[in-house]
Amino acid sequence: MYEFNYQKVESVSAAVAALKNADDGKFLAGGQTMLPTMKHRLASPSDVIDLSGIAELKGIKASADTVTIGAMTTHAEVAASPEVQKAIPALAGLAGNIGDPAVRNRGTLGGSIANNDPAADYPAAVIALGATVKTDRREIAGDDFFTGMFETALEEDEIIVSVSFPVPRAAAYMKFENPASRYAIVGVFVAETSDGIRIGVTGATPCAHRGLRLEAALAGKLDSAALDSVELPVDKMNSDIHASAEYRAHLVKVMAKRAVDACN
């Protein structure tokens, strides 16, 4: 790790101001990607602005049709939340299977989606549930939030305040884990929403995406057999030492079918 200035702030505005005043500042949420990267000397921010002291970024609020989760809420808190478990059990289950207990007790929802790792779990849920990302200055639709590998619609100094998940009629997340990292080689989130059946796919491509081909094949019905004939573009898939593009394309279908079945 290179030397850096550490600042802990108590408000969103103070965080934004601190970033503005820094040469090359970075917000620190749970640090589960950023700190290992810094330890490996692959990142060297001049200033690390710790968001963990900002009360307004924390907590879970549930209404009849929406669950709103503060950006600095940890995966463990989401997994253990009775409100989330009741309203969107698939989301609680997703959070409860991210990484390992150490990661889940430090890592946060906001940190995960702001980082937008191609193999992270939350992006699939944000997309499938049609969530809305609320920042310190605007609201961003889940469909518009993830723009590329490790890239999002966020401005440099924009801070996620919370994410609002509409409560679906049914939802399920199926993750095919990388046996080493336990990230998703492929993860498919299927949700039956007021907007119809929506599918979010992570791990398969450089950026989490909406499974439009899969949604089209389902044609509004939670019938997994309808997915058998779907052809997914192998050339769009990630390929690495853990899984080839062809295998990933196959797994997307298998996981999608299993998620559809689990919705029923």
Tell me the sheet residues that pair with 173: 189
Find where tokens 């309808």 sit: 226
Minimum distance of other proteins from residue 243's CB (angstroms): 6
* Residue 42 touching other proteins (CB under 8 A): no
Q: What whole-number distance in Å separates Cα of residue 227 and Cα of residue 72?
A: 37
Q: Which of 41, 156, 228, 231 binds other proteins (CB under 8 A)?
A: 41
Q: What whole-number distance in Å separates Cα of residue 22 and Cα of residue 54?
A: 19
Q: Which of 23, 64, 156, 180 binds other proteins (CB under 8 A)?
A: 180
CB 57 within 8 A of CB 27: no
Site stretch for other proteins (CB under 8 A), options 1-9, 10-18, 77-85, 87-95: 1-9
Q: Which of 181, 194, 216, 264 binds other proteins (CB under 8 A)?
A: 181
CB 144 within 8 A of CB 152: no
Q: What whole-number distance in Å separates Cα of residue 88 and Cα of residue 191?
A: 10
Task: Give the three-class secondary structure for 235.
Answer: helix
Q: What whole-number distance in Å separates Cα of residue 212 and Cα of residue 256?
A: 12
* Residue 64 touching other proteins (CB under 8 A): no
* Residue 103 touching other proteins (CB under 8 A): no
Nearer to other proteins, 1 or 212 (CB): 1
Buried b (16+ CB within 10 A) or exposed e, 176-205: bebeeeebbbbbbbbbbbeeebbbbbbbbb
Minimum distance of other proteins from residue 96's CB (angstroms): 14
Site stretch for other proteins (CB under 8 A), options 21-29, 122-130, 165-173, 176-184: 176-184
Site string for other proteins, 209-248 (x = CB under 8 A): --------------------------------xxxx--x-
Q: Which of 207, 251, 252, 263 binds other proteins (CB under 8 A)?
A: 251
Tell me the sheet residues that pair with 151: 148
* Residue 37 touching other proteins (CB under 8 A): no
Interface with other proteins by CB under 8 A: which residues?
Answer: 1-3, 40-41, 176, 178-181, 183, 241-244, 247, 250-251, 254
